[in-house]
Amino acid sequence: MSIEHAESTKHNDPQLEEMPELVIITGMSGAGRTEAMHTFEDLGYFCVDNLPSSLIGNLLALDGIPGLPDGSRRLAVVCDARNRDFFADLKTELMKLKAQGVAYRLLFLDADEEKLISRYKSSRRRHPLCADGASIAQGIERERNLLYDLRENAHDVIDTTSMLPPQLRSQIRSLFAPGEERTGLSITVYSFGFKHGAPIDADLVMDVRFLPNPFYVPSLRPQTGLDEAVRDYVLCRSETEEFLKRWYALLDCVMPGYVAEGKQQLAIGVGCTGGQHRSVALAEATGDHLKSKGYRVSIAHRDLKLAEGKDGGLIADAKASEPHEGLLHADVALGTSEG
């Protein structure tokens, strides 16, 4: 796999350190344009597939872009051989954008002929330039000739011949969002009680019921893992300290792999018996550890609304059951909390 830069584009160009306002994705059919578009969507771009070049200016002129904050202009447009007139007008449109001071990057995806033929055969789709009965190889040759000038003028050329989709996503992120790999992964850490049902959406589940349970300490029973006394009881024990050392080491081992694979969302469930004491304190500690490593983390407590208060009833503090960053807790049946 390889990445090429046009001679006019230097690695120390300030534009390479910022996400451009407009990205035009083009290249050979079968080289990964769709995967590239999905990657830009994950980066927060508004993406349009197969847009005629004459409409790019109109798109940029919109007062508001769906899904983007007011004033934002992060657009990714895919152009390919499905729209024959696009390429004839694209050069003129790019000159207009440059004259208007619009910062854009032209990304060209390529692959060798053998690989493109193999991908088309495996997908059983017809090449867009084979409508007249030409072979796949002939269609690829026609397209390569058609795109020659675009490739020569592209800011970035990625050869996907030997790439898997996660590798392509990683390369695009390194080019267009350097340093944002970790923040691109959204992590939710939430506590839960096994007695209220095991989670069905967690990627990682840690059962902490092996630790001593504050539920059996009368003064701690009506409190939660958000209270200092419970937190100290759970965290300031030798067995918990040893567990956290190994738990953090495991997280530090697997998280870079999730980032490298291009995973966008990760849910980590920390469970005890009732979701009131141990899991709450340890979910908070887990979230704090991941935040310290530069990840974007939300912490929630699924079953904390079921925690017992001092009078034996349910804790009515709505804030306790709300996530720190807007995550909605799951609805569960009422029950008595423990642990």
Task: Indicate if the pLDDT at residue 320 is higher than 70.
Answer: no
Q: Is residue 78 within 8 Å of residue 141, measured between CB atoms?
A: no
Q: What's the CA gap between 107 and 24, in Å, rounded?
A: 6
* Mean pLDDT score, 318-336: 39
Task: Indicate if the pLDDT at residue 278 is higher than 50.
Answer: yes
Q: Is residue 301 within 8 Å of residue 275, measured between CB atoms?
A: yes
Residue 322: CB partners within 8 Å, gap ≥ 6? Answer: 300, 329
Task: Indicate if the pLDDT at residue 334 is higher than 50.
Answer: no
Residue 57 parent element (H or E) = helix 56-60
**Eight-class DSSP state of 308:** B
Which has more pLDDT, 143 or 188?
188
Helix, strand or coil, per DSSP, at residue 189: strand
State residue 72's pLDDT score: 59
Task: Indicate if the pLDDT at residue 238 is higher than 60.
Answer: yes
278-292 vs 228-235: helix axis angle to the nearest 10?
80
List the CATH code of the domain at 2-176: 3.40.50.300
Q: What's the CA gap between 293 and 42, in Å, rounded?
A: 21
| Residues 20, 22, 28, 29, CA torsion sign | positive
State residue 56's pLDDT score: 83
Q: What's the CA gap between 178 and 164, in Å, rounded?
A: 20
CATH 3.40.50.300 in the chain, residues?
Answer: 2-176
Q: What is the mean pLDDT of the chain?
A: 81
pLDDT single digits (tens) 65-104:
655 554 556 889 988 766 666 566 777 888 888 888 888 8
Residue with tokens 């567990």: 243
Task: Indicate if the pLDDT at residue 193 is higher than 70.
Answer: yes
Q: Is residue 213 within 8 Å of residue 223, measured between CB atoms?
A: no
State residue 299's pLDDT score: 95
Task: Indicate if the pLDDT at residue 338 is higher than 70.
Answer: no
**Eight-class DSSP state of 196:** G
Q: What's the CA gap between 299 and 281, in Å, rounded?
A: 11
Which segment of 117-126, 245-254, 279-288 scores lowest on mean pLDDT? Answer: 117-126
Residue 38 parent element (H or E) = helix 33-42
Q: Is residue 182 within 8 Å of residue 171, measured between CB atoms?
A: no
pLDDT single digits (tens) 103-133:
889 999 999 999 999 988 887 777 888 877 7
pLDDT single digits (tens) 5-36:
443 333 333 333 467 889 999 999 999 999 99
The Cα-based distances of 156 to 39, 106, 169 in angstroms read: 16, 7, 14
